[in-house]
A and B are shown apart, each in its own frame.
Chain A
Amino acid sequence: MKLGFYPGCSVDGGSREYKESCRALAKAFDIELESVPDWNCCGASAAHNLNRDLALALPARILSLAEKAGMTDILVPCAACYNRLALTQHELMKDETLRNRISEVTGLGFKGSCSILNVVQWIQKYILPELPGKIIQPFDYRVACYYGCLLVRPHKVLKFDRPEDPQTMDEVMKLIGATPIDWAFKTECCGAGLSVSRTDVVADLSGKIVYDAFSRQADALIVACPMCHSNLDMRRPEINGYLKQKISIPVIYITQAIGMAVGISTKELGLHRHFVPVKLPEKTEAIK
């Protein structure tokens, strides 16, 4: 099966392991991820702070290209990209004048026919039906599912999961044998782009997230966003400095966790690329 795929800049760069694990997982389930031809930047947080037309035109071009390539579903693994694409589609579909103006800017027509899937929706739709028979190594750990801010908000537009206490990742993790913990920081801000300019703020915000997961005895943090990942993983030295405590709880992409459960090698999943080593407590035997 072929499926549309919009990588975006971060999974093509800093978060290569996210893309690798998405592709590895897709391969294990006989799905071919086909990148949107000639894709461009989604605008990230810069564009919509500066210029509304630009903020809409960039994602609109991506969606138009995907439509042209005949894609009906596109997987957008980065939560920020997903958010920008989904919001753009929403804005353009409810306002014809705006749609026409933006189409003029991109020089491409816009139908709004693509269904934009975040990684959890993609897993729910394409992975879960085949999953039960494929688990060879249950992911039997206590996990803290961290959704971040962009995956479930704004609820009015995305209509995905409960905005304050989301559950979908928890449900998926249960299916691969994990025990999702009940914790307080599922959707709290990790500090996002302040990672570069105000590392101290990130250490504070992300530090609270890591500490709560740690104090509730989670074995791993599960994420679905490259920004969240880099703040919780790459900024761990700053976090530990802020907490005055060495916390070594690993941060794992949801695709990596499922990949481990279905027996994909750690190399293919890119687990070696993390800053915080992925060391999980020895627990289970492989199913014979």
Chain B
Amino acid sequence: MARIGVFVCHCGENISATVDCDRVAENAAGLPGVVHSVDYKYMCSDPGQTLIREAIREHRLTGVVVAACSPRMHEPTFRRACAEAGLNPFLCEMANVREHCSWVHEKTESTTQKAKDVVRMLVEKVKRNEALQPIKVPVTKKAVVIGGGVAGIQAALDIANGGHKVLLVEREPSIGGHMSQLSETFPTLDCSQCILTPRMVEVAQHPNITLWSYSEVIGLDGFVGNFTVKIRKKAKSIDEHLCTGCGLCTQKCPVRKIPSEFEQGLGTRSAIYTPFPQAVPNKPVIDKLNCTYYLKGRCKLCEKVCPTQAIRFDQPDELVEVQAGAIVLATGYDIKRADFFPEYGYGKYKDVIDGLQFERLASASGPTGGMIRRPSDGQIPKKIVFVACAGSRDPAKGIEYCSKFCCMYTAKHAMLYKHKVHDGTPYVFYMDIRAGGKDYDEFTRRAIEVDRTQYIRGRVSRIYEKDGKLIVVGADTLLGAQKVEIEADMVVLATASVASQGSEELAQIVHVSYDRYKFFSEAHPKLKPVETNTAGIFLAGACQAPKDIPESVSAASGAAAKVLGLFANDELTREPLIAAVNRMSPPQYSTCIGCFLCQPVCPYNAIEREEFKTRDGRLIKAVARINPGLCQGCGTCVALCRSKSIDLFGYSNKQIYTEVAALLDEALV
């Protein structure tokens, strides 16, 4: 005979503001099989959990229903409490009366009625729950970090220093990411390369880190602790073991006018190239789209000059499968280009550049050797207008969020310009100065007060060219929206930062959710900021939302800590909520008819063919079998099975039907 306990939570006022919790509890007490029913203000608190534990012992409960929030956050909490009191955790269910009821309805009689109905459904379900045992799976103690910017580098180093193997996968020829392109960094104005390149070298030399540059993740199977990662190592057209990185080939390559990605199009590179002198690995790749040999079938000059005969024109892409226990996504961000802004000339004015281009102009290793020269004619600009929030916080542009680090780098740009061109005047058009962070506000104040940057609060409506000047038309909203026109020599747009190109595809490959801006979604905005909803996959840096360097590094270390925590176990326990094909004895009497329709629909390739044969090898029957290690319990096969031979533990057909019946007609149950 079932002995069910019902525990109705008020969730402070989250539930009790619209649902009459005591009446829900009272009603539940009258349901068949319910022997105990109470309500409490915070069921997830320690006294709340004690209430459940004591009731289990006192009333010898065989099942528990907690009517509270969504199971996503607190189902593990309450199941743990049940287990502590000796009840199998899978005999505890949650009735969601918050997200599904109190939060979405007004305070009316029918809202309370709905809460009662939801509780009744779960009471009927839990009567049919079975005690289940968790599944143990081994852990592959190796992590794959995708993306080699500062976040990926930090995560890889932290995991490697924790004693575990790491594979760092980077799609560009070198690691370093956007940080390697920056000139100086706020708020200390220390040189970006000087602090980053030692870390890059550390990655290359660390015994626990394998670095695959020019490689992309193209597939992911498996589950936490046991992933199989498919990686395409793009052909670099060189033999990395022979290449010494002497750079002779890049000097001799006759194709020299390719706009350099690293220099943001302000400099050029050759067809065989390393992106920048401090690249890691410091070995070139051949850009097949621009190489004369790949285009026309002749040249091979690099092959002739290579002292170690390391050039391999016939090298194919390599597809490799790697076993890993955890994945860290650190794919970073991109910025919108000036061609995103019709009102600023769609990128047709050479001297309207974006923030990353200005970084290259200001960088000692950049195309101008650190002199601020405008791209059109190489003149030193006497007036630069910096436009903050170019695209960010602009619903009309479809980007409603704040790109976060632009306020700071714009102040930095203005400062760097002033430090290099003493008689120049920097102007900044801004909406708000967002300088929250350690030493950040002091930094922007310095730009205004010490370096005399002209900050104008207002937006720029248009930029056009007139007699060799860029006319910047805007409003000064602190002077009553007065119109401002500045004849500038150069304009720098602090363009919106957006999800890295290809991040949507990657999210689909690795099965993590992403927001409407294609940034990867964290599992919980406050309490699980580096986890994803897919166990074993973590987030580091700006692939989750725009982040500056300190934040990216913190998130990366956080993700690494999570990976190390995972790797501290030799075995993982998985919830046994998986599907199974029924078996009776003898096993061939299974109702499975062996149609195998379930096989192609399984997203996890978990369904195998099991054959029963006589002793002389004659096939009697073939039935489906579900590999418990691979099954994720999605239930697709259950829905498709024609003979109803598959059931999902914890969500059996019987349980679901009873729930529905309980909702439709109390008499049915």
Contact = CB atoms under 8 A, between A and B. Distances in A.
Interface of A: 155, 162-165, 182-185, 188, 212, 215
A165 B464 contact: no
Interface in B332-367: 341-343, 346, 348
A184 B346 contact: no
A215 B464 CA distance: 13
B462 A188 contact: yes
B462 A165 contact: no
A212 B467 CA distance: 11
A164 B465 contact: no
Contacts of A182: 348
B465 A165 contact: no
20 contacts: A155-B396, A162-B342, A163-B342, A164-B341, A164-B342, A165-B342, A165-B343, A165-B346, A182-B348, A183-B464, A184-B462, A184-B464, A184-B465, A184-B466, A184-B471, A185-B464, A188-B462, A212-B464, A212-B466, A215-B466
Interface string B456-484: 00000010111000010000000000000
Contacts of A162: 342
Most buried by A among B462, B465, B471: B462
Nearest first, the 3 A-B pairs at minimum CB distance are: A184-B464, A164-B342, A165-B342
Contact of B343 (A155, A164, A183, A215): A164
Contacts of B462: 184, 188
Contacts of B396: 155
What DSSP secondary structure best describes chain B's contact surface?
mixed
A162 B396 CA distance: 12
A184 B463 CA distance: 8
A183 B465 CA distance: 9
Interface string B309-345: 0000000000000000000000000000000011100
Interface of B: 341-343, 346, 348, 396, 462, 464-466, 471
A215 B468 CA distance: 13
Contacts of B466: 184, 212, 215
Nearest to B395: A156
B472 to A, nearest CB: 11
B352 to A, nearest CB: 12
Contacts of B342: 162-165
Contacts of A184: 462, 464-466, 471
Contacts of A212: 464, 466
A155 B343 CA distance: 14
Given A165-B343, A183-B464, 19 more contacts: A155-B396, A162-B342, A163-B342, A164-B341, A164-B342, A164-B343, A165-B342, A165-B346, A182-B348, A184-B462, A184-B464, A184-B465, A184-B466, A184-B471, A185-B464, A188-B462, A212-B464, A212-B466, A215-B466
Contacts of B341: 164
A212 B348 CA distance: 17
A185 B471 CA distance: 12
A202 to B, nearest CB: 15
Contacts of B348: 182
A212 B396 CA distance: 27
Contacts of A188: 462
Nearest to A155: B396
Nearest to A154: B396
Contacts of A163: 342
Nearest to A165: B342
Nearest to A205: B483
B569 to A, nearest CB: 53
Most buried by B among A164, A185, A188, A215: A164
A184 B465 CA distance: 8
A183 B462 CA distance: 12
A185 B461 CA distance: 11
B485 to A, nearest CB: 10
A182 B345 CA distance: 10
B483 to A, nearest CB: 10
B185 to A, nearest CB: 34
A107 B464 CA distance: 50
A153 to B, nearest CB: 10
Nearest to B344: A164
A204 B552 CA distance: 49
Nearest to A211: B466
B461 to A, nearest CB: 9
Contacts of B343: 164-165
A164 B346 CA distance: 10
Contacts of A185: 464
Contacts of B471: 184
A186 to B, nearest CB: 10
B367 to A, nearest CB: 28
Nearest to B467: A215
B95 to A, nearest CB: 37
A164 B339 CA distance: 13
A7 B341 CA distance: 36
A216 to B, nearest CB: 10
* Most chain B Cβ neighbours within 10 Å, of A155, A163, A165: A165
A212 to B, nearest CB: 8
Contacts of A183: 464
B629 to A, nearest CB: 51
B357 to A, nearest CB: 22
Nearest to A166: B342
A16 B625 CA distance: 83
A145 to B, nearest CB: 15
Nearest to A184: B464
A86 to B, nearest CB: 18
A183 to B, nearest CB: 8
A215 B465 CA distance: 12
B427 to A, nearest CB: 19
Contacts of A165: 342-343, 346
A184 B343 CA distance: 9
Tell which of B465, B466, B471 has the most Cβ of chain A within 10 Å: B466
B407 to A, nearest CB: 24
Contacts of B464: 183-185, 212
